[in-house]
Structure 1
């Protein structure tokens, strides 16, 4: 499964696709059939994000286990907040807190991902 762990390109591509689909689903009308379809596709992308992230975690966590573990945790929290925004939005419950948590967790996840040795070196 070298294509999953040689580079982070597949994982980053899945994240970009996931965030775009999440934003599309979040801003669609809550009762539309299209939103339900996009939400289901987004859930499939969540699974692919977790699989690619888990393979990278297993492959590279021996070099800095704590940072990789934190990134994995914040990645899961980010996905959790994405799902909470979509589900609570459909039920017409308040989502402001979950949007804020999503933004914070996403920024922390991106920072850790770029800071780790296998990530892009923006913070050198």
Structure 2
């Protein structure tokens, strides 16, 4: 399982695809069959994001357990808000709060991810 933990490429690919699928599904007609299929594929990508993130967490968290733990927590919260936006919009309930929380959690997750030792180093001065 080294391909999951040597680099972050697989993890980044899964969450980028998940974000694109989420945005497409969120702005698609809420009662279309295509949105339902997209939502199911997106749920598969949620699982892939969590598995790849968990593998990276297990492999690398010994260097800075708190930062990796917070990043994992905020990643789960981001996925939760993505799901809440889609489900609540399907039921025609307000989603403004969940969109805002999604944006905040996504920003925090990405900020923490880029700051981690295995992350991309362009935020090294922050």
State the TM-score, normalized to the length of structure 1: 0.99
Aligned to 1:22: 22
CA distance in 1, matches of 2:123, 2:31: 43
For the aligned residues, what is the CA RMSD? 0.3
CA distance in 2, matches of 1:78, 1:66: 18
Aligned to 1:70: 70
CA distance in 2, matches of 1:78, 1:122: 22
Q: How does 1:1-124 map to 2 (within 5 A)?
A: 1-124=1-124
Shift of 1:104: 0.1
State the TM-score, normalized to the length of structure 2: 0.98
Shift of 1:41: 0.2
Number of residues of Structure 1 aligned to a counterpart in Structure 2 = 124
CA distance in 1, matches of 2:63, 2:97: 35
Q: Which structure 1 residue ranges, 4+ long, deviate > 6 Å from structure 2? A: none
Deviations 1:34-93 (A, max 9, x none): 000000000000000000000000000000000000000000000000000000000000
SS of alignment partner, residue 15 of structure 1? helix
CA distance in 1, matches of 2:74, 2:12: 15
CA distance in 1, matches of 2:123, 2:103: 20
Deviations 1:80-111 (A, max 9, x none): 00000000000000000000000000000000
CA distance in 2, matches of 1:89, 1:15: 22
